[in-house]
Amino acid sequence: MHLLLLLPPLPHYLHLSRNHHFSLHLLQAQEPNYQVNGLNVTTFILQQDFSLLTEFVVSVKAKNPNDRIGFIYGHNSAAVVTYRDSKLCSDKLLSFEQGHNNITLMNVTMKGKSEFDNGLQKALMQNKNCRKIPLLVQVKVPVSIVVANSPLRHFLVFVKCSLVIDNLSPNKKIRILSSEYTLHFAF
């Protein structure tokens, strides 16, 4: 005799496993966290036509605190560094898979050429003289949740990191004086 058991769809945080019997596991999902660990300026050249050539290397730490959940960070990501709403540089993140209980460190090289008018130059000079330069790092990346080596739900992660740094001089040590993060998800 066979018994047919119909269950409603399970919430995203429950997992049903079958090992000669059925058991229900609570995954206790936690959101990953992200942190800018460092910033290195390799190019920061103001051209005579008021354009600015930049190249930054941003060191990012992605921490997955989950015991049974991994993440796949997909293609079509975007990372941008701005100063007073003016884009300094941008690029994409590499696609990678992050296992459970994992900390991944990555260096993201971003390049840019942007208009940098006289008003922005004056504001930047004031910030440089005070050794407090505000930057905004924004990242958008598609992510898939992985449970038991199976990719499940796909969503977008939006990270905004407001930084205050002490300088933008090429090839000099840059100190992050303060940082503030906001994290949003879109399903």
**8 Å CB contact between 84 and 123:** yes
Mean pLDDT of 22-29: 60
Torsion of CA 75, 32, 139, 125, to 10 degrees: -150
Distance CA 89, CA 39 (A): 13
Q: Is this model's pTM higher than 0.85 or not?
A: no
Domain ranges of the chain: 30-186
Reference 74, options 155, 169, 2; nearest CA is 155
Enclosing H/E stretch for 125: helix 118-130
152-173, pLDDT tens digit by residue? Answer: 889 999 999 999 999 999 999 9
Q: Say if residue 183's pLDDT is above 50.
A: yes
**8 Å CB contact between 134 and 163:** yes
Mean pLDDT of 62-81: 95
For the chain, the average pLDDT equals 87
Reference 71, options 158, 139, 156, 1; nearest CA is 156
What does the block give as tokens for 149?
Answer: 């080596």
Q: Say if residue 6's pLDDT is above 60.
A: no
Q: For position 18, what pLDDT does the model report?
A: 44
Can you tell me whether residue 130 is helix, strand or coil? helix
Which range has the worst mean pLDDT, 45-49, 97-101, 137-141? 45-49
Q: For position 26, what pLDDT does the model report?
A: 62
Q: Say if residue 22's pLDDT is above 50.
A: no
Please, which pLDDT band fits residue 25 given cuts at 50, 70 and 90?
Answer: low
**8 Å CB contact between 165 and 133:** yes
Q: What is the DSSP letter of 122?
A: H
